């Protein structure tokens, strides 16, 4: 009886350990810190022999198409500037200076495809900039004047910034994320 228990325990440990380590590695090895504070993470989606299977798995597991790294850089952030998790119950101000890429998109997840009223993304095509070319986007569940993204789901949130690759080499300054109220 004891031997059977050891066998079952070993198999369970192997399956759960392999599964948990894969999920953990997909997040940690598939991306790397992209700014000094380490809140924004850049996903490694290189093609060919340099491809990172963990980075690709992050997108494919959710049924999403991984953007080609030769075209876009993908950054995600689930923390505000104070290091707290982003929450749907709070209002945030996302501010950037010098986000001058040819095309970019700032979105908030997770997505809820049944929430047709969600405006979970804003792009460089539609954003309104300040006179000094600065950029401010509010993230809140209720309408806010100016640039606004609305989370489609409740709970913890993740921001995603997709930037076309044409001028990222010149030094992209990633937006700050400040909590305004909760």
Among 45, 90, 94, 135, binds another protein (CB under 8 A): 45
Specify the stretch interacting with another protein by CB under 8 A; choose among 82-90, 92-100, 123-131, 132-140: 123-131
Give the CA dihedral 73, 74, 79, 82, nearest 10 degrees: 10
Among 111, 147, 153, 176, binds another protein (CB under 8 A): 111
Among 81, 103, 144, 179, binds another protein (CB under 8 A): 103
Query: By the 8 A CB rule, do 152 and 118 touch?
Result: yes
Collapse the DSSP code of 170 into the 3-class scheme (helix H, G, I; strand E, B; otherwise coil) and give the result.
helix
Binding to another protein (CB under 8 A) within 11-40 occurs at 11, 13-15, 17-19, 21-23, 25-26
Locus of tokens 């950054």: 75
Does the footprint of another protein cover residue 128 (CB under 8 A)?
A: no
Among 44, 54, 137, 150, binds another protein (CB under 8 A): 54
Q: How far apart are alpha carbons 16 and 114 in whole angstroms?
A: 32
Verify cis geometry, omega within 30 degrees of 0, for the bond prior to 110: yes
Q: How far apart are alpha carbons 132 and 129 in whole angstroms?
A: 8
Specify the stretch interacting with another protein by CB under 8 A; choose among 34-42, 54-62, 84-92, 134-142: 54-62
Token pair for residue 50?
């340099």
Locate all alpha helices (DSSP H) within the chain, ordered by sequence: 2-28, 53-60
Q: How far apart are alpha carbons 91 and 105 in whole angstroms?
A: 19
Specify the stretch interacting with another protein by CB under 8 A; choose among 31-39, 53-61, 89-97, 173-181: 53-61
Which residue ranges make up the site for another protein (CB under 8 A)? 3, 6-7, 9-11, 13-15, 17-19, 21-23, 25-26, 45, 47, 51, 53-54, 56-57, 59-61, 63-71, 74, 102-103, 105, 107, 109, 111, 113, 120-123, 125-126, 160, 162, 164, 166
């Amino acid at each position: 009886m004891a031997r059977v228990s050891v066998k079952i325990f070993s198999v369970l440990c192997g399956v759960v350990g392999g599964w948990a380590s894969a999920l953990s590695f997909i997040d940690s090895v598939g991306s790397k810190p992209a700014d000094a504070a380490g809140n924004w993470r850049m996903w490694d989606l290189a093609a060919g022999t340099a491809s990172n299977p963990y980075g690709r798995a992050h997108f494919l597991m959710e049924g999403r198409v991984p953007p080609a790294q030769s075209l876009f850089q993908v950054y995600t952030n689930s923390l505000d500037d104070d290091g707290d998790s982003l929450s749907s119950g709070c209002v945030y101000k996302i501010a950037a200076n010098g986000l001058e890429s040819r095309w970019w998109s700032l979105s908030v997840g997770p997505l809820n495809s049944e929430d047709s009223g969600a405006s979970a993304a804003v792009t460089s095509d539609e954003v309104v900039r300040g006179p000094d070319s600065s950029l401010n986007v509010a993230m809140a569940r209720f309408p806010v004047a100016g640039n606004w993204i609305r989370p489609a789901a409740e709970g913890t949130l993740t921001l995603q910034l997709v930037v076309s690759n044409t001028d990222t080499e010149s030094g992209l300054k990633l937006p700050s994320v400040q909590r305004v109220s909760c």
